[in-house]
Amino acid sequence: MNKSLLAVAVASLLSPISNLHAQQASADETMVVTANRFEQSTESVVAQVEVVTRQDIDRIQAKSLTDVFRRLTGIQVSQNGGRGQQASIFVRGANSDQVLVLIDGIRFARAAKGGVDFSQLPITFVDRVEYVRGARAAMYGSEAIGGVINIITVANSDNEKTAVSAGLGSLDYEELSFVSGTKVGENGHLNVSVGYDSDEGYNVHPMPGINDGDRHGFESRNALIGYVHNFDQQWSGFANFRMFETISQYDGSYVDYVTGAPVHSYKEAEVQNSTFAAGVKYSGSELKSDFLVNYQNQDNWNYEQSLGKNSASATSDELEQLNVQWVNSYKLTSALTLSGGVDWRDEAYIVKPSNTEYDRTNVAYFAALNADADKLFGELSLRVDDNEQFGTETTYNTGLGYRYAEWLVVKAAYGTSFKAPNLYQLYSYYGNAQLEAEKADSFELTFGGLIKDVDWSITGYDTNVEDLIDYNYATSKYYNTDGESQLRGVEMVVGFDTSFINHQVSANFQDPEDQSGEQLIRRAKKIYKYNAVVSFDEVDVSLGYQYVGERPDFSEDLAAYSLFDVSVNYYANENLTLNGRVDNLTDEEYETAGGYPSPERTYYVNATYQF
């Protein structure tokens, strides 16, 4: 990390990733678009926000998005084993399907069962991640209870460099990528990204005497092409296409409950996802307006590897989603911005081979007023979602911040949110067409500031969720629970420099409870994280540490664990960078999902040539 980047990191509301946002004025403001759907300085955002740049991703040598998320404040990762296995996250105790995931500002079409599997999303074409904690339904609608994660790709980047990267690692890991950005004429810009990675894996669900010797690996291919054209200083247009295909092996072995005989099952899951987006943008001195259309299609297969995906026992489904959105912002004065727009979405769930199709349409209107004066800043937003399946939901959010001094900034926010039942929960064999949307209200209070070059913040939050959707194993149906689930906690973040070392420390103390007062499955009450970057002229070293406390699972309690990861980057010259990474440095034995041991110590090496 160079000196200017260290200065930015110290002058920001620091997170476990080096580029968190400034709460006090600085010459190097961090700008975000995710919090309120228009570009603004993080100093004017009431919510807690973190930004991860491509440089951050490369510095820690992240092999997947879960590697990035593990370092972020308030996030806990749960995964059924190693690379390519199903991975979900919890944000401040909120479930994975209560966290809205965007790709380039558009809702990502979820898997059939509703939760985004982060192990499937390729990191090759990721340019930036913006992470907003807390309720954002008044901006985005369903699922934005715990927060919003916006994965911004290289599709609209103005980068004019080309890089080729190759790497090897433990478990026969291989990776190869090509990313290029170039000008086309005077007013155009073309971005291309292609990536491949795979590993042979290990036995992620060992059952002695049944699946001995099995290895559950992963293979991914991805590509992206994007073009941006500037018609003049105010008008621009864009079009892009991206796709990824993943194949992962997993264990389906079991003991027959009638005969008691073991049954070996070696299965594969295949995902094919493609997305096309196009739009136009107007950017004037006061008015900014974006109009875009986005179409997503995802096919999913599950089958016995020996039989293939065309076998009679294979299962498959298809998910389609068409989005149209129009977002506007107008600067009323130097301190006031009015924004609003329309979101239209049609989504379909298709069960194969019968080709039974279930679909629904959602139309939403939203408006917001944001203020940023000398001492005060705040936001007020309202959204109405009209869904043909579950009716109308109205959500709102209000927040106020006060800059008392450099050493103290106070922020408070209150918002309502909801999560609509997904199409699988409604219409599958296990579905319940009478399900209602989950509803939540959230309050948070933050104190932060800069004291003698130590950046600090403390946030308390309280979220209550009604009508939580759960699965009844007795009836094999989804249902709405009675009572309220409560997600309460305190998160503390501190960042500082000592000589050439940048330190980031966070601690989360949370109490995620279901309607019966029991601790929610797989959610720890204590999470500690420490991240450091040691910078020299030609070398930087990144160290990551996390402690996750014990937590209940379906049939057993999961033990607490501590993990150390380290990565080294050697900048041989202006073109060539050599990298090394060690995950689970102390070879800790741990599980984030019961019965699925996480990887042992693993090693990776990588070389990147840029021209």
pLDDT for 610 equals: 95
Compute the distance between CA of residue 157 and CA of residue 608 in angstroms, rounded to an integer: 19
SS3 sequence of 559-611: CCEEEEEEEEEEECCCCEEEEEEEECCCCCCCEEECCEECCCCEEEEEEEEEC
pLDDT for 111 equals: 54
Q: In the 8-state DSSP scheme, what is residue 293?
A: E
**Cα-based torsion angle of the residue sequence 211, 168, 246, 225 in order, rounded to the nearest 10 degrees:** 180
pLDDT for 109 equals: 85
Token couple for 486 = 């409560």
Number of H helices, E strands in the chain: 5, 39
Instruction: Give the pTM.
Output: 0.93
- Check the CA dihedral 15-19-21-26 and report its sign: positive
DSSP helix/strand/coil, 181: strand
DSSP string, 321-357: EEEEEEEEEEESSSSEEEEEEEEEEEEEEEEETTTEE
Residue 409 CB partners (closer than 8 Å, separation 6+): 23, 24, 401, 402, 403, 446, 447, 448, 449
User: Nearest to residue 160, comparing CAs of 177, 191, 182, 138?
Assistant: 182
Compute the distance between CA of residue 458 and CA of residue 443 in angstroms, rounded to an integer: 14
Q: In the 8-state DSSP scheme, what is residue 483?
A: S
Range of the domain at 544: 3-610
Listed in sequence order, the DSSP H helices in 70-135 are: none
Residue 24 CB partners (closer than 8 Å, separation 6+): 11, 43, 403, 406, 409, 449, 450
What stretches in the chain show pLDDT beneath 50? 1-27
pLDDT for 7 equals: 35
DSSP helix/strand/coil, 525: coil
Burial environment of residue 306 by CB neighbours within 10 A (0 to 12, 13 to 18, 19 or more):
exposed
Longest dimension (CA), the chain: 75
Residue 429 CB partners (closer than 8 Å, separation 6+): 476
SS3 sequence of 369-384: EEEECCCEEEEEEEEE
DSSP helix/strand/coil, 459: strand
DSSP helix/strand/coil, 9: helix
First-to-last alpha carbon distance for the chain, in angstroms, is 20
SS3 sequence of 122-143: CCCCEEEEEEEECCCHHHHCCC
Q: What is the CATH number of the domain that holds 147?
A: 2.40.170.20
**Cα-based torsion angle of the residue sequence 137, 143, 149, 155 in order, rounded to the nearest 10 degrees:** -90
Residue type for position 193: S
Please count the other Cβ atoms lying within 10 Å of the Cβ belonging to residue 482. Answer: 10
pLDDT for 19 equals: 36
DSSP helix/strand/coil, 45: coil
Tally the domains of the chain. 1
Phi, psi of 584 (to 5 degrees): 55, 60
pLDDT digits (tens, 9 = 90+) for 484-515: 999 999 999 999 999 899 999 999 999 999 99
- Is residue 152 a contact partner of residue 159, using CB atoms and an 8 Å limit? no
Residue type for position 457: S
Burial environment of residue 459 by CB neighbours within 10 A (0 to 12, 13 to 18, 19 or more):
buried
Q: Are strands 99-103 and 147-153 parallel, antiparallel or unpaired?
A: parallel
User: Chain centroid to CA 222: how far?
Assistant: 18
